């Protein structure tokens, strides 16, 4: 597939998606010319991606509403469908059929462009996530770098949304968002860099494979734990979620940068927020908790065997959901920070700790003081 190559995994477990996709690829190539096969594969992957994207978002909406409800001594959605399962679908349909309100005195092109930029940024990140054993849309040797680069496009959409709305609240929200995301990008980048140092590669599949014996959080012990904690804080800030939800602090800026958006345009921001939550959790699972690898304990062969039966896709999702739970827990417990405190936290604490941690990791790699 040109520069994009479906991963050819050498692993031979039950759910080796790599061999399935390779077989499918060669089957298509035997039926039709290779450009045609590539095109068809791209379309199929695109459709699949959109479907997964939408379903995950719906799941996350329900997930957060339920979790938050139990934190708040409530039941959460419980009317539409059993256990409120269809509430998210109903909400999504409502959002789809809502009118998009035409505003005067706005920059129409940029206003319409902004939600797409935000959603494209999060969709691109999906391409390199290690969904399962051999189940990855593209795999190339700078995968994690590509993911960081793509996720940064999102801030552009937010800035445009705030600026083009011609509204003072959105502008303040966008400015906050700009300074926040640019600052915390550093921490996210540095903590991932620390782990990449340990893995010795930027290739997502290789990072997962390097954790086959021990997850990085165990094998790289202290610096990995520090990096994970920093990543969790910075990742929460990156997704504009509480306690870092200043860009859309509803009690200060009504809805921040997306105040003026309605209908599906608002829906895009809403979706992207949840999907970014998933991406942040997914990357944490990838970098620290072995991606799609099952949970194994050395010596417990029977236990490890049973764990191996759980499909790798489920492993990845479960890890991501557990990390998301922690981030949701933050949001529904802590009050919001103030902008100066937010920047102080990043530049005065997280960044120096991160730099120190990077040095520590290098020392540990050089001295071989790891598992």
Partner 1 sequence: MSNLQEKIAKLFPEASFEDAGEFRITVPDARLHDLVKTLRDDSELRFDYLVTIVGMDWKTSLGCIYYLMSTRSKQVIAVKVSTDDRDKPMLHSIADLYHIAQFYEREVYDFYGIIFIGNPDMRRLFLNIDWKGYPLRKDYDDNPSLNPVSIENERQSDFTDQWVETASGEVRKNERRIFAPEDFVVNIGPQHPATHGVLRFRTAIDGETIKRIDVYMGYIHRGIEKLCEDLNYPQTLHFMDRMDYFSAHNYHHGLCLCIEKAAGIEAPRRAQVIRVLMDELSRIASHCLFLGTFCMDLGATTMLFYTLRVREQILDIMERTCGARMTFNYDTIGGVMQDLDENFVADVKALLDVIPANIKEYNKLFTGNVITRNRMEGVGVLTNEDAVSYAITGPSGRASGWACDVRKTHPYAIYNELEFDEVIRHEGDSMARFKNRIDEITQSARIIAQLIDNIPEGEIQAKVPKVLKLPVGHWFQLVEGCRGLFGVYIESDGSTKPYRMKLVTPSMPAACVVDHITRGQKIADLITIGGSMDYIVPDMDR
**Contacts with partner 1, residue ranges (CB under 8 A):** 68, 71-74, 168-169, 172, 175-176, 242-243, 245-246, 249-254, 332-341
Name residues whose C-beta falls within 8 Å of residue 53's C-beta, 6 or more positions apart in sequence: 123, 126, 271, 275
Please identify, using beta-carbon distances, which residue of 65 and 319 lies nearer to partner 1: 65
Structure tokens at 141: 């040797």
- 79 to each of 35, 62, 90, how far by Cα in Å? 49, 13, 11
Please identify, using beta-carbon distances, which residue of 68 and 360 lies nearer to partner 1: 68
Please identify, using beta-carbon distances, which residue of 3 and 251 lies nearer to partner 1: 251
Beta bridge partners of 132: 135
The answer to whether 273 and 119 are in contact (CB under 8 A) is: no
Look at phi and psi of residue 221 and say left if phi exceeds 0, alpha if psi is from -120 to 50, else beta.
left
Q: To the nearest whole angstrom, how small is the minimum distance from the Cβ of residue 329 to partner 1? A: 10
Helix ranges restricted to H, the chain: 17-31, 34-71, 87-97, 108-128, 143-164, 168-199, 204-209, 216-219, 221-238, 250-253, 263-288, 301-309, 312-331, 339-344, 351-367
Please identify, using beta-carbon distances, which residue of 118 and 253 lies nearer to partner 1: 253
Q: To the nearest whole angstrom, how small is the minimum distance from the Cβ of residue 199 to partner 1? A: 34
Q: To the nearest whole angstrom, how small is the minimum distance from the Cβ of residue 148 to partner 1? A: 27
Please identify, using beta-carbon distances, which residue of 124 and 172 lies nearer to partner 1: 172
Name residues whose C-beta falls within 8 Å of residue 133's C-beta, 6 or more positions apart in sequence: 9, 11, 13, 15, 16, 17, 18, 292, 312
Please identify, using beta-carbon distances, which residue of 343 and 360 lies nearer to partner 1: 343
Q: What is the residue whose two structure tokens read 């021990």? A: 214
Q: To the nearest whole angstrom, how small is the minimum distance from the Cβ of residue 175 to partner 1? A: 8
> Which uninterrupted H or E stretch holds 140?
none
Q: To the nearest whole angstrom, how small is the minimum distance from the Cβ of residue 246 to partner 1? A: 8
Structure tokens at 60: 């996350």
Q: To the nearest whole angstrom, how small is the minimum distance from the Cβ of residue 253 to partner 1? A: 8
How many CA atoms does the CB half-sphere of 367 hold within 13 Å?
9
Please identify, using beta-carbon distances, which residue of 242 and 291 lies nearer to partner 1: 242
Name residues whose C-beta falls within 8 Å of residue 77's C-beta, 6 or more positions apart in sequence: 62, 65, 66, 69, 84, 87, 88
Q: To the nearest whole angstrom, how small is the minimum distance from the Cβ of residue 252 to partner 1? A: 5
Please identify, using beta-carbon distances, which residue of 71 and 86 lies nearer to partner 1: 71
Structure tokens at 272: 């992207």
Q: To the nearest whole angstrom, how small is the minimum distance from the Cβ of residue 180 to partner 1? A: 12
Question: Phi, psi at residue 48, to the nearest 5°?
Answer: -60, -40
Q: To the nearest whole angstrom, how small is the minimum distance from the Cβ of residue 306 to partner 1? A: 37
Please identify, using beta-carbon distances, which residue of 168 and 305 lies nearer to partner 1: 168
């Amino acid at each position: 597939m040109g520069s994009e190559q479906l991963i050819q995994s050498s692993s031979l477990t039950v759910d080796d998606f790599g061999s399935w996709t390779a077989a499918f690829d060669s089957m298509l190539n035997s039926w039709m010319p290779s450009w045609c096969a590539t095109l068809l594969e791209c379309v199929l992957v695109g459709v699949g991606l959109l479907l997964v994207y939408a379903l995950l978002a719906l799941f996350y909406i329900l997930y957060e509403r339920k979790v938050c409800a139990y934190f708040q001594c409530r039941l959460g959605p419980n009317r539409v469908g059993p256990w409120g399962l269809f509430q998210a679908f109903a909400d999504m349909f409502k959002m789809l059929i809502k009118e998009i309100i035409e505003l005067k005195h706005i920059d129409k092109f940029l206003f319409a462009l902004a939600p797409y930029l935000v959603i494209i940024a999060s969709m691109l990140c999906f391409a390199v996530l290690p969904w399962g054993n051999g189940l990855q849309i593209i795999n190339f040797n700078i995968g994690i770098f590509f993911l960081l680069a793509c996720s940064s496009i999102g801030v552009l959409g937010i800035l445009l949304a705030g600026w083009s709305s011609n509204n003072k609240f959105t502008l303040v929200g966008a400015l906050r968002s700009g300074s926040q995301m640019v600052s915390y990008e550093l921490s996210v980048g540095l903590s991932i860099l620390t782990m990449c140092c340990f893995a010795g590669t930027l290739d997502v599949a290789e990072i997962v494979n390097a954790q086959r014996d021990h997850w990085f959080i165990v094998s790289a012990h202290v610096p990995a734990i520090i990096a994970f904690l920093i990543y969790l804080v910075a990742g929460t800030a990156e997704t504009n979620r509480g306690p870092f939800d200043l860009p859309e602090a509803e009690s200060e800026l009504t809805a921040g940068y997306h105040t003026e958006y309605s209908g599906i345009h608002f829906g895009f921001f809403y979706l992207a927020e949840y999907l970014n939550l998933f991406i942040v959790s997914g990357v944490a699972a990838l970098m620290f908790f072995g991606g799609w690898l099952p949970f194994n304990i050395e010596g417990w062969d029977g236990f490890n065997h049973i764990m191996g039966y759980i499909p790798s896709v489920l492993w990845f999702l479960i890890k991501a959901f557990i990390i998301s739970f922690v981030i949701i827990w933050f949001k529904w417990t802590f009050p919001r920070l103030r902008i100066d405190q937010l920047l102080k936290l990043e530049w005065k604490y997280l960044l120096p700790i991160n730099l120190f941690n990077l040095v520590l990791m290098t020392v540990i790699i050089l001295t071989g003081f790891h598992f």
